């Protein structure tokens, strides 16, 4: 069986180092905000070229905290002073119609009004034309693709008059400083750099947002200008992440090799399109193929050959009951049609050359006349 995920193989490779890190944390007696949390935050700041890093419980929580900042603070006021807002008229957040529901849920949980936006053929949000109404726009680096370059001035990034924030869960490793007003990162076990449990982070160059988020993640402490919640990342996860940072560049290079092999093998299959082709840089969090007529047939064929695949995502957000009253694309939009045609293939560093060849061979055989 060629599994879709290879976390068991990763553990075999890192077992001794992870167990040593576990012992170091547990014997220290410091299970939150210890030396490993500081080391990981420092590493992340350098990696993302961000001035400020706030570690939190998950990528979804990171997005929600950013959303609460945009909802509850005003750039021309004291950053510590919450301002009164009309729940009927507060700013709208535009979210791409093709993404994991957690992205949308984070903004709904923060009390923002969500508007679903269509995407291009690669699943990247179509930026709104400039108008008089300033909105917030969430850019998602779907499957590891780079997002639109957004210039930042004093920590506030604006594109066509819209404040730009970034869901970097899948592509942050190639963001190279393009973090918008703030970027949310996930260290979910399925991500390129994964925690052993869960974890997330906010990276930003905006000092006011940093101060807000630092308090919100810790129940408003120390000043209690805000309410907040408990959203710390555990010291154990930080220690395990520090182990994995020693290998992330090697893993990314391997993912790049796998992507290129797939692209080379599939380039002559005319009905098939690979979503990662044509990009100068790509984080390779997933390798996704597109077929308008054969997606389910390919998946069944690969399953019969003991090759696991996934569908990301089975439904567009606009098709979920919770979005019934939202502004959203119609059922023939680009993003909606993509959900009927996308299939994710195994893509992780621990795949052997023989396994990658097997996956490609079976797809080529499927398309043989």
- The arithmetic mean of pLDDT across residues 175-187, rounded, is 94
Counting Cα atoms < 13 Å in the Cβ hemisphere of 123 gives 27
User: What backbone torsions phi and psi does residue 95 show, to the nearest 5 degrees?
Assistant: -120, 135
| DSSP β-bridge partners for residue 165 | 138
Amino acid 324: pLDDT: 93
Cβ neighbours, 10 Å, residue 114: 24
How confident is the model over 198-243, as pLDDT tens digits?
999 999 999 999 999 999 999 999 989 888 999 999 999 999 999 9
- Cα–Cα distance, 342 to 340 (Å, whole number): 6
Nearest to 349 by CA among 254, 276, 269: 254
Is the CB of residue 222 less than 8 Å from the CB of residue 159? no
How confident is the model over 120-173, as pLDDT tens digits?
999 999 877 766 456 788 999 999 999 887 766 666 666 666 678 999 999 999
- Cα–Cα distance, 21 to 163 (Å, whole number): 40
- The arithmetic mean of pLDDT across residues 74-85, rounded, is 42
SS (H, E, C) 63-130: HHHHHHHHHHCCCCCCCCCCCCCCCCCCCEEEEECCCCHHHHHHHHHCCCEEEEECECCCCCECCCCC
Banded pLDDT at 274 (limits 50, 70, 90): very high
DSSP secondary structure letter of residue 223: T
Return the percentage of the chain with pLDDT > 70, whole number. 90
Query: Does residue 83 have a pLDDT over 90?
Result: no
Amino acid 78: pLDDT: 37
The more confidently predicted of residues 132 and 53 is 53
Residue 25 burial (10 A CB sphere; 0-12, 13-18, 19+): buried
List domains and CATH numbers for the chain. 7-245 (3.40.640.10), 248-366 (3.90.1150.10)
User: What backbone torsions phi and psi does residue 316 show, to the nearest 5 degrees?
Assistant: -70, 155
Average pLDDT, the chain: 90
C-alpha pair distances (Å), 238 with each of 41, 48, 126: 9, 17, 35
Query: Does residue 27 have a pLDDT over 70?
Result: yes
- Cα–Cα distance, 191 to 188 (Å, whole number): 6
Amino acid 89: pLDDT: 44
- The arithmetic mean of pLDDT across residues 303-329, rounded, is 95
- The arithmetic mean of pLDDT across residues 306-320, rounded, is 96
Amino acid 296: pLDDT: 96
Is the CB of residue 223 less than 8 Å from the CB of residue 78? no
Amino acid 202: pLDDT: 98
- Cα–Cα distance, 360 to 345 (Å, whole number): 10
Whole-model pTM over 0.85 = yes
| DSSP β-bridge partners for residue 344 | 288, 310
- The arithmetic mean of pLDDT across residues 339-364, rounded, is 98
The sign of the CA dihedral 273, 96, 56, 78 is positive
Three-state secondary-structure class, residue 224: coil
Amino acid 72: pLDDT: 75
Amino acid 219: pLDDT: 94
Is the CB of residue 104 less than 8 Å from the CB of residue 134? no
Amino acid 339: pLDDT: 95
Cβ neighbours, 10 Å, residue 153: 8
Helix, strand, coil percentages in the chain from 3-state DSSP, rounded to 5? 40, 15, 45
Query: Does residue 331 have a pLDDT over 90?
Result: no
Amino acid 77: pLDDT: 42
| Residue 345: both structure tokens together | 């293939």
What's the length of the chain?
369
Is the CB of residue 319 less than 8 Å from the CB of residue 336? yes
How confident is the model over 235-270, as pLDDT tens digits?
999 999 999 999 999 999 999 999 999 999 999 998
- Cα–Cα distance, 39 to 67 (Å, whole number): 26
Query: Does residue 69 have a pLDDT over 60?
Result: yes
Residue where the block lists tokens 């979503």: 275
Amino acid 130: pLDDT: 64
Nearest to 172 by CA among 116, 248, 118: 248
Cβ neighbours, 10 Å, residue 355: 16
Query: Does residue 184 have a pLDDT over 70?
Result: yes
How confident is the model over 39-52, as pLDDT tens digits?
999 999 999 999 99
């Amino acid at each position: 069986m060629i599994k879709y995920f290879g976390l068991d193989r990763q553990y075999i490779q890192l077992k001794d180092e992870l167990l040593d890190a576990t012992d170091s944390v547990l014997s220290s007696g410091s299970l939150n905000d210890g030396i490993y949390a500081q080391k990981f935050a420092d590493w992340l700041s350098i990696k993302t070229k961000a001035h400020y890093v706030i570690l939190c419980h998950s990528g979804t929580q990171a997005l929600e905290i950013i959303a609460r900042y945009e909802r509850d603070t005003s750039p021309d006021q004291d950053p510590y002073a919450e301002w009164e807002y009309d729940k009927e008229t507060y700013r709208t957040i535009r979210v791409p119609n093709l993404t994991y529901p957690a992205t949308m849920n984070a903004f709904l949980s923060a009390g923002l009004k969500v508007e679903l936006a269509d995407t291009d053929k690669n699943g990247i949000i179509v930026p709104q034309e400039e108008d008089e109404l300033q909105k917030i726009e969430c850019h998602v680096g779907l499957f590891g693709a780079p997002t639109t370059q957004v210039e930042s001035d004093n920590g506030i990034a604006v594109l066509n008059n819209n404040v730009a924030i970034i869901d970097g869960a899948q592509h942050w490793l190639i963001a190279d400083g393009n973090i918008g007003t703030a970027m949310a990162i996930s260290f979910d076990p399925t991500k390129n750099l994964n925690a052993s449990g869960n974890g997330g982070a906010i990276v930003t160059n905006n000092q006011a947002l940093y101060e807000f988020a630092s308090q919100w993640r810790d129940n408003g402490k120390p000043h209690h200008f805000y309410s907040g919640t408990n959203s710390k990342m555990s010291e154990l996860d930080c220690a395990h992440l520090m182990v994995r940072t020693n290998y992330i560049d090697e893993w990314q290079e391997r993912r790049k090799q796998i992507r290129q092999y797939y692209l080379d093998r599939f380039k002559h299959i005319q009905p098939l399109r690979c979503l990662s082709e044509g990009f100068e840089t790509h984080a390779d969090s997933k390798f996704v193929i597109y077929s308008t007529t054969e997606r389910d047939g390919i998946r069944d064929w690969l399953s019969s050959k003991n090759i696991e695949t996934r569908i990301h995502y089975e439904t567009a957000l606009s098709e979920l009951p919770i979005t019934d009253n939202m502004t959203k694309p119609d059922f023939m939009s680009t993003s909606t049609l993509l959900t009927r045609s996308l299939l994710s293939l195994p893509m992780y560093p621990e795949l052997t050359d023989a396994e990658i060849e097997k996956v490609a061979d079976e797809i080529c055989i499927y398309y043989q006349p």
